[in-house]
Amino acid sequence: MPAKGKVEIDRDQCKSCGFCVEFCPRGVLRISKEYNDKGYYPAEQSGEDCTGCAICALVCPEAIIEVWRD
């Protein structure tokens, strides 16, 4: 059974570059349909298939993603 992970994104700091969404191998991230405080559409976790690989955190230019693994 693969590990389970959880992604926490500081939505108010996200600038919607989309790198985390593009590079997520499991496709569990998406761009939100709601604005954040800065007027961007932040990324968010949208599925339960996260393995906690942390690629999203590595490619985030703002360093605002934390990944937790069970």
- CATH classification of 5-69 is 3.30.70.20, yes or no? yes
What integer pLDDT is reported at residue 70 of this predicted model? Answer: 86
What integer pLDDT is reported at residue 42 of this predicted model? Answer: 98
User: From the centroid of its chain, how far is CA 33?
Assistant: 14
Q: What is the DSSP string of 8-65?
A: EE-TTT-----HHHHH-TT--EEE-SS--TTS---EEE--S------HHHHH-TT--E
Does residue 1 register a pLDDT over 80?
A: no
pLDDT tens track for 13-66: 999 999 999 999 999 999 999 999 999 999 999 989 999 999 999 999 999 999
- The rounded distance, in Å, linking the Cα atoms of 25 and 21 is 9
The domain locations on the chain are 5-69
Could you tell me if 56 and 20 are in contact, meaning their C-beta atoms sit under 8 angstroms apart? yes
